[in-house]
A and B are shown apart, each in its own frame.
Chain A
């Protein structure tokens, strides 16, 4: 299956919601500790043997921690940059016209960006400045800042059904659920005893969300009764960096971890760990599931490789 070598350490990979063969990769030099960043827009080859083509690449002065595709324009990408900026790129435009925008409001590293999949006009950025900001692509300034977390916010994720609801995962060990029409968070879930690094909503049940934590576990929560998790998934041996629900099967999740593994889970069944891929040789920090092709997975890590493979096959198979 296709493999792409990035010059820097991979941080995030996202399938395009418009083209099944397109993906974007966020990378950072020096593990994102110091250095440049680069966004790659890649096109998967029509036949498995052919090389991955790079459609565009954008350099930044600081690490790029995350990337998100616009849900409304097939060529637009939003990058979360470690210098606190949020950059908007249009891969249809020549490099000279990019970035289209560079939005400087976060005072510290922007760690994640999530495009609203229902309204399709806005996106969220989560930053180490403890805040989440809400933006629309056509405005030069953020619409709102959500600042309640007491420590770095590592991720913010829109609810797939409610266009105004999102969850944020923070190093303050909580996940907060917000409704942008309300002034403050509507729910605080003390989700883990350690930092929460990621959260994602179930695509089929709008009350279910999953959290990934430094405590090595993934927890699945029902916001209607969040005092105890629906389930706790053990299997990673180091902090879990990301967890994402499948767009195709309600109980399927994929995760990646500092233990270098990418794992597939079905949280409804007893032996939840249903797949484990050990293809990365350094921390696996980016993973995604294709919306357009069922079972198609992509991952990236600090080994500077981007893998794309069909679930059940060997990512490293040629």
Chain B
């Protein structure tokens, strides 16, 4: 029965869970409302290839995939029949009165048999492109963030792993959240809204390199347009104000006035109606202009910012108190996140940063300060704000009192009066802002460059050990990863060019769920020996995890290139850039050449994860497992891939196999927790995270996941133990 099929078909089509797994930010909103769907994946799922180096990775959202839906029928369903194209030509050349004809022509009598017609040439269905890396992490973070506002527990921003947001994703987040924020915060100022969005973007590490249309100040832009229109009275054009009435008349006549309502409108208002409308707009415009006259282009006043928080705080409607979305946003609004001004907004940003530099006050202060219409109004407004604000934001009040505001206000007033900021205040502000901005950029660069720098432990008891490498290998074999790491650090301190020492160190870190260190160590290993196959493979996987596709492909290609057996497959000269399809093809060739080489299948699995062909990835890993059934990291990879393809239940089985083989495999324990969390079994996930942390308390990510699961499981009572990293309490509370 067709209906039945449809129902089931529909369900199948829905790809259970894939929906949620799909997006970066999948979580974002979930976090807002706490509605995180169970199936969401999170970042840390896929471990790495290489015999020993488990790494997580998540596939990069492909722009081209995003473009897929719909491309399926571009130009497909309507053969360019003569009538159609003729119509389009006619239409395009049509103007003025021809619009009418064109429109009438559109419907030549009765409707064509649409449904039948549309079925001509079945449109190939493209699978729903559910792009984006698994974003459980983000979801959880935001969820706990939101949750923290319930219990009044201070939210501690966690450093998110790289989320792999594509430029398109970022643009979406930026534009949509801007536009939507504009709706939520109806009567708040532009600056307030921008601040909200910036806080969000900042926490997601979306910065100014995102290209896009960005938010447009609707109100003012509209007025500007009116202004332009009015200025353009002399300019010929169909929509200029004074042309409008005539045109309307003319058209009406030409059309034989089919619509009586239009006629009546014209009678009542005609040009006069328009004129008065214009007048009104003009006066609006004047006020805008006046406001523009100050150095702060954004008219909005900052008190509105705080007013929002205020309004929300004052709104006793329990529904609002419970709206996670609003809580989330209002939380942001209170400056608990840094409003690092990503958008270069001329004056406002300048004020903010300048202020920040000078007085080193809290960010909320700075933003408030920004918003003022002008220095002369500042003092009085400040006073009122202070009144209004006192009850609202404790933090702010504290800062405020510290600053000894009256003096400050006077001082500021004086400075302004004396022209301390120069004649053209704007320039100075701008310069100051630029400085500030550059500083920020520099800081960011510093933090970027710190990636890949290996950080040694203090107080290493193995320094001075006669054979730390051997000791490290032994400890590693026993599964004492943290100890092994110390021993191996001692080794590479002693012999910085020992590639094997670095490699093992990297693997130990990876298994211990510390990717930054793992990558840093692997890069050292590569430095020491650029042709070490295991290192190349590990780096390929690590970079895959870090979404650096180009680098990942380069290393994976390098692996083939340096492999004695597969060297022949690669060209003599290393290409300058790599394409996923090319590399995958090479590996497929390699797999054909020697189907019994598990490593090749492992890399293929990694490559397919990269392109998010999870079914193929799973198949590859399964093939590899037939060849290497005792490779625990391989089981972990399989599990992570299954989790990524929304088979969390299967994933748990795979992780279990990994743990059977290597009970001290911290990452597999953590991954297990993730899979449980993905299925909504938060209590279970907590137990696994706690177990993982008991083995490696330095696994920062696991702490974050734990915190998230605690929030999700409504175990706020244990958050303190989590924040203080009190494993005793946690282990007692959540025995496995």
User: A143-B102, A184-B247 given as contacts; is B222 within 8 A of A83 (CB)?
Assistant: no
Taking the nearest CB of chain A, how far is it from the CB of B246, in angstroms?
12
Instruction: Judge whether A239 and B184 touch: CB under 8 Å.
Output: yes
A34, A58, A239: the one within 8 Å of B172 (CB): A34
Instruction: Judge whether B183 and A151 touch: CB under 8 Å.
Output: no
Indicate whether A30 reaches chain B with its CB closer than 8 angstroms. yes
Instruction: Judge whether B22 and A29 touch: CB under 8 Å.
Output: yes
In the bound complex, residues from chain A placing their C-beta under 8 Å from that of B20 are 7, 29, 35
In the bound complex, residues from chain A placing their C-beta under 8 Å from that of B96 are 183
Indicate whether B176 reaches chain A with its CB closer than 8 angstroms. yes
Nearest A residue (CB) for B250: A182
B27, B102, B184, B261: the one within 8 Å of A206 (CB): B261
In the bound complex, residues from chain A placing their C-beta under 8 Å from that of B112 are 138
Indicate whether B323 reaches chain A with its CB closer than 8 angstroms. yes
**A101–B121 CA distance with the chains assembled, in angstroms:** 11
Indicate whether B581 reaches chain A with its CB closer than 8 angstroms. no
Indicate whether B180 reaches chain A with its CB closer than 8 angstroms. yes
In the bound complex, residues from chain A placing their C-beta under 8 Å from that of B281 are 190
In the bound complex, residues from chain A placing their C-beta under 8 Å from that of B184 are 238-239, 258, 283
Indicate whether B119 reaches chain A with its CB closer than 8 angstroms. yes
**A62–B99 CA distance with the chains assembled, in angstroms:** 34
- By Cβ-Cβ distance, the 7 closest A-B pairs, closest first, are A102-B70, A30-B29, A59-B128, A181-B100, A172-B222, A34-B25, A35-B23
Instruction: Judge whether A102 and B73 touch: CB under 8 Å.
Output: yes
B5, B30, B74: the one within 8 Å of A94 (CB): B5
B18, B29, B269: the one within 8 Å of A9 (CB): B29
Instruction: Judge whether A34 and B24 touch: CB under 8 Å.
Output: yes
Nearest B residue (CB) for A33: B176
- Of the listed residues B99, B169, B184, the one surrounded by the most CB atoms of chain A closer than 10 A to its CB is B99
Taking the nearest CB of chain A, how far is it from the CB of B516, in angstroms?
26
Indicate whether A292 reaches chain B with its CB closer than 8 angstroms. no
Interface size on B, residues (CB 8 A): 115
Instruction: Judge whether A104 and B74 touch: CB under 8 Å.
Output: yes
**A117–B540 CA distance with the chains assembled, in angstroms:** 58
Interface string of A2-25 (1 = CB under 8 A from B): 000001110000000000000000
Taking the nearest CB of chain A, how far is it from the CB of B324, in angstroms?
8
**A121–B109 CA distance with the chains assembled, in angstroms:** 10
Taking the nearest CB of chain A, how far is it from the CB of B31, in angstroms?
9
**A87–B65 CA distance with the chains assembled, in angstroms:** 17
Interface size on A, residues (CB 8 A): 112
Instruction: Judge whether A108 and B99 touch: CB under 8 Å.
Output: no
Taking the nearest CB of chain A, how far is it from the CB of B160, in angstroms?
15
Indicate whether A36 reaches chain B with its CB closer than 8 angstroms. yes
| Residues in chain B within 8 A of chain A (CB atoms) | 2-3, 5-7, 9-15, 18-20, 22-30, 32-33, 35, 37, 65-66, 68-75, 77-78, 84, 88, 91, 95-96, 99-100, 102-104, 106-107, 111-112, 114-115, 117-119, 122-123, 125, 128-132, 169, 172-173, 175-177, 179-180, 182-184, 186-187, 213, 216, 218-219, 221-222, 224-225, 238-239, 244, 247-248, 251, 255, 258-259, 261-262, 264-265, 268-269, 273, 276-277, 280-281, 315, 319-320, 322-325
Instruction: Judge whether A97 and B122 touch: CB under 8 Å.
Output: yes
In the bound complex, residues from chain B placing their C-beta under 8 Å from that of A251 are none
User: A83-B66, A138-B114, A174-B222 given as contacts; is B186 within 8 A of A35 (CB)?
Assistant: no
**A77–B176 CA distance with the chains assembled, in angstroms:** 25
**A101–B76 CA distance with the chains assembled, in angstroms:** 9
- Of the listed residues B27, B66, B78, B323, the one surrounded by the most CB atoms of chain A closer than 10 A to its CB is B323
**A100–B124 CA distance with the chains assembled, in angstroms:** 9
Instruction: Judge whether A34 and B219 touch: CB under 8 Å.
Output: no
Nearest A residue (CB) for B244: A184
Taking the nearest CB of chain B, how far is it from the CB of A253, in angstroms?
20
Indicate whether A314 reaches chain B with its CB closer than 8 angstroms. no
Indicate whether A277 reaches chain B with its CB closer than 8 angstroms. no
In the bound complex, residues from chain A placing their C-beta under 8 Å from that of B259 are 162, 164-165, 179
Q: Within residues 171 to 229 of chain A, which ones have a CB less than 8 A from any CB in chain B?
A: 171-174, 179-184, 186-188, 190, 193-195, 197, 206-207, 214-216, 223-227
**A215–B10 CA distance with the chains assembled, in angstroms:** 40
Query: A30-B32, A179-B259 are known contacts; what are 4 more A-B pairs with Cβ within 8 Å?
Result: A180-B99, A188-B277, A206-B261, A224-B265
Interface string of A62-92 (1 = CB under 8 A from B): 1000000010110110000111010110111
